[in-house]
Amino acid sequence: MICRLFTIYFTFFLCLLFTFFVPYVHSNNQLDTNFYDGSCPNLATIVRYGVWSAIKNDNRMAASLLRLHFHDCIVNGCDASVLLDDTPYFTGEKNASPNRNSLRGMEVIDNIKEQVERQCPSTVSCADILSLAVREAIDLVGGPSWPVALGRRDATKANRMEANQQIPSPFEPLDNIIAKFTSKGLNLRDVVALSGAHTIGYARCLTFKRRLFDFQGSGRPDPVLASSLLSKLQSTCPNGDTSNSYIAPLDSNTTLTFDNEYYRNLLYNKGLLESDMALLSDRRTSSMAYFYSTDQYSFYNDFAASMVKLSNVGVLTGIQGQIRRKCGSVNY
């Protein structure tokens, strides 16, 4: 009799626990555009003002924030690990080869986080702030907007080796770049649409200089590169290591405006990076690149959809990770 009563009470206890615990876990593992409506209602305003101020002071910042977000999400997911400084316990991603001396915008996210912490302490993750900031940045320079579901949490570690391995390189064959995208759940259309991010911003001469003087060891420039652009770039990036850190616009026509000019540049052999021009020479991607060059509306729609997918890659939610008080360091 005692055993039977124990079994009944224990079963009731398990059912009660399941009833209360499972919905809690489920809800905390779902991103939601209204996630901070009650806990930090002024979040969107704080982020937008912070991004607006940053772009006003530095017209390259929209492109820099977009690149910062991509380099975060493509390495083990959108968890703000890219913002972590080196510690005695791990070497962060800031000094990985694709990021060292070129990644920008961390201080913008730090400043916004500081403002958010004053109003909503220990509430909003750096990963969510970065995701919101990118959306606002692109909107402010003429690009599309998209819904940002929130509720991400921040990583407690970073990995420089994985950043070196997972971030696509402008020197890689297109097959390699596609493989890196698909490993994150992105598809071929996402590759082409997200490459349109190169409609704004600049690239270091180091990333394309071999096209100007010694393409593939030939001792001559890349024959595909338009002669008018070649002469400009050779002037901007003289042959030699001293010019490696100099910069040139990815889109020389509308450098600071988000539009579809990037794809039109490809048609005239004015893509700056080898990975840009590869989109036009591969039959899997060329038709989409041509299409976006003629239809900015479709490019905007597809870019926005791809940004939603990218922003949801590998997110930490619920009890995973933490809400870092400062974006550059883990809470201990």
Instruction: Give catalytic residues, as residue numbers.
Output: 71
To the question of whether residue 75 is assigned a binding role by annotation, the answer is yes
To the question of whether residue 39 is assigned a binding role by annotation, the answer is no
To the question of whether residue 77 is assigned a binding role by annotation, the answer is yes
Two structure tokens written together for 140: 């402010």
To the question of whether residue 91 is assigned a binding role by annotation, the answer is no
To the question of whether residue 37 is assigned a binding role by annotation, the answer is no
To the question of whether residue 93 is assigned a binding role by annotation, the answer is yes
To the question of whether residue 41 is assigned a binding role by annotation, the answer is no
To the question of whether residue 198 is assigned a binding role by annotation, the answer is yes
- Beta-strand (E) ranges in the chain? 202-204, 247-249
To the question of whether residue 274 is assigned a binding role by annotation, the answer is no
CA angle in degrees (0–180, nearest 5) for 198-271-65:
15
CA 156 to chain centre: 19
What are the distances in angstroms from CA 330 to CA 5, 40, 86, 93?
48, 22, 11, 14
* Rg, C-alpha atoms of the chain: 23
Q: Within a 13 Å sphere around the CA of 62, how many CA atoms are in the beta-carbon half?
A: 24
Element (H, E) at 165: helix 160-166
Two structure tokens written together for 218: 């030939």
Binding site listing for Ca(2+): 72, 75, 77, 79, 81, 93, 199, 251, 254, 259
